[in-house]
């Protein structure tokens, strides 16, 4: 059975964590879901016929979307923290 290993690299070091064991049926379901919602598209925006390489592209599309959402969330947190710091600075002056 496949096992996902997540590796996180930072300036402080690298950490690898094994995910739970995933059955072949659940892997197939995940790939089906990926291809349903994140398929590679042709120039007209239509999903391309499914191949192993295009399934891999569907995964990359999903991962890119996850990263963009994470980046958006982090930027939102940074703006919120800056706004709170600015509000506190105004209160300190008043």
| pLDDT tens-place values along the chain, 94 residues long | 566 787 888 888 898 888 777 788 888 999 999 999 999 999 999 999 999 999 999 999 999 999 999 999 999 999 999 999 998 888 777 6
pTM score: 0.62
- Our count of domains for the chain comes to 1
Domain range for 38 is 3-93
Spatial separation of the C-alpha atoms in residues 48 and 45, rounded to whole Å: 9
Spatial separation of the C-alpha atoms in residues 85 and 81, rounded to whole Å: 6
* H and E: helices and strands count for the chain: 2, 2
């Amino acid at each position: 059975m496949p096992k996902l290993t997540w590796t996180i690299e930072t300036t402080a070091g690298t950490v690898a964590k094994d995910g739970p064991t995933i059955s072949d049926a659940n892997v197939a379901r995940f790939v089906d879901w990926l291809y349903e919602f994140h398929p590679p598209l042709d120039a007209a925006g239509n999903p391309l016929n499914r191949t192993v390489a295009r399934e891999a592209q569907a995964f990359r599309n999903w991962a890119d979307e996850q990263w963009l959402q994470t980046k958006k969330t982090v930027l939102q947190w940074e703006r919120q923290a800056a706004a709170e710091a600015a509000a506190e600075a105004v209160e300190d002056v008043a």
